[in-house]
Structure 1
C-alpha cells in the first residue's frame, strides 16, 4: 500500500506504540486520526496535526463516539492498537469490573470498529486493517491472564477475518510486538524494544501488505512454537 494520501485511524494513538505509528503514517503523507482518554495527550496530538478524538474504548459509548466523529470519512487504514493489561493476580485481586473493561478494550472494541468501518472500507481502492496482538497471543504469561486471553482471542478473530476478506481489496494484518517500552510496561524487568522501532515494523507491514508481522523477539517465539508449542508455553508462562 502506498500510504501517501490515505486516511488512517490509530486507536490508543496518543501514547506509546500508537503515537509512534500515527507519527510515522503522518510522515509518509497520511491524514491521521487518533483517539485516547487523556486530555493533555489529546491536546498534544491535536497540536501535532492529528485529528484527536476523546473516547474511552473500554465502553460502547466510546466506540460509538469514534464512529460518529469519523462518519463520512473515507477510511483507508484502521489500526486497532489500544489495549490494557487487566488484573494480574487472580487469587489476590480478581477485579471483575477491571476485567470486563480490559476485555472490551482489547477485544470487543476492535470488533466494534471493524464492523462499523468495514462496509465503507470495502469500497476503497485498497485498504488495511491492522490488529495489534502480542507475542503473548502465541503462548501466555502467568502474570497476565486477562491480557493474554484477549490477545489470543484477537489473534483468532484476525485470522478468520482475513479469510473472510480474502477476495476483497482489504489486507488484514496481525502485528505481534514483543515487550515494548511504554507506560504499560514500566514495571516489566525484561529487555524492551523501543516504541519507534516497533511502530516502524508495523508501518512497514502496512506498506508491504504483510499478513503477519512478527516483531523483534516474537520471531524467535514463533520459531520455538512451531517446533514445540509445549516448550513455548513452558518458557512463556514464567516470563
Structure 2
C-alpha cells in the first residue's frame, strides 16, 4: 500500500502502539485520525496536526461518537488498535464482570462494528485496508488472561474470514500480532518488552507490503513453533 495521501483512522491512537502508528504514518504522509478517551492526549494530538475524536469504545455509544467525529469523511485505512486486558483469574479472586464486558466490547465488538459501519466507504476507495491488531496470545493463550486471549483469538478468526470474503477487492485485510510491548497495559509486567516504536515500524512495513500478517518481534518464533508443533506452543504460552 502507498501510505502517502491516505486517510487513516486509528482507534486507541493517543498512547502506546496506537500513538506510534499515528506519528509514523503521519510522518509518511498520511492524514491521521485517532480516537481516544483522555482529553489531554486528544488535545496534544490535535496540536500535532491530527484529527482527534473523543470516543469510549468499551460500549456502543463509542461507535456513534466515532462516526459523528468523521462527519462523512472518507477513510482509506481502518486500524482497529484499541484494546485492554482485565483481571480474570480464579486463582486470585472472582473476576470483575464489568471489566470483562468492557474488554469484550473494546477488543472484539468495537472492531467488528466499525468495520461494518465503514465498509461502504472503504469500498469506494481505489486502495483500502483494514488492520486488526490482535496479539501473539491469539495463537496460543495464557492461563492468566483468558478473556483477553479469547477476544484476540476471536478477532483473529474474524479477520481470517473477512480476508477471504474481500479477496479480489481493493480492500486488503492485515492482521498485526504484537508480542509484549512496553505500554501502559504491560507496565507491571517484568521481562523483555518490545518498544512501541519498533512494533509500529514493523506493522507499517507489513502495510506497505500488503502482507496478510505482521508477526511482530518474538511472535515470528511463536508462529513458527505453532506451525510445527501446536501443542508445544500452547504449553509454552499457557503459563506466560
Structure 2 counterparts to residues 116-195 of structure 1, below 5 A: 116-195=117-196
**Secondary structure of 1:122 counterpart:** helix
* Cα drift, residue 131 of structure 1: 0.2
Residues 134-186 of structure 1: CA distance to partner in whole angstroms, max 9, x if unpaired?
A: 00000001111110000000000000000000021001000000000000001
Structure 2 counterparts to residues 190-201 of structure 1, below 5 A: 190-201=191-202
Q: Distance in 1 between matches of 2:150 and 2:129?
A: 25
Residues 182-228 of structure 1: CA distance to partner in whole angstroms, max 9, x if unpaired?
A: 00001111200000000001111111101111010000000111111
Equivalent pair of 2:88/2:96 in contact (CA under 8 Å): no
* Cα drift, residue 93 of structure 1: 2.8
Deviant stretches of 4+, over 2 Å: none
- Equivalent position of 2:16 in the other structure: 16
Alignment root-mean-square deviation, CA: 0.8
Q: Distance in 2 between matches of 1:190 and 1:219?
A: 18
Equivalent pair of 1:87/1:145 in contact (CA under 8 Å): no
Alignment TM-score, normalising by the size of structure 2? 0.98
* Cα drift, residue 43 of structure 1: 1.0
- Equivalent position of 2:215 in the other structure: 214
Q: Distance in 2 between matches of 1:155 and 1:63?
A: 21
Alignment TM-score, normalising by the size of structure 1? 0.98
- Equivalent position of 2:77 in the other structure: 77
Equivalent pair of 1:76/1:124 in contact (CA under 8 Å): yes
Structure 2 unaligned blocks of 5 or more: none
- Equivalent position of 1:68 in the other structure: 68
Structure 1 unaligned blocks of 5 or more: none
Does 2:106 correspond to 1:102? Answer: no
Equivalent pair of 1:133/1:176 in contact (CA under 8 Å): yes
* Cα drift, residue 71 of structure 1: 3.0
* Cα drift, residue 89 of structure 1: 1.7
Instruction: Count how many residue pairs are aligned between Structure 1 and Structure 2.
Output: 239
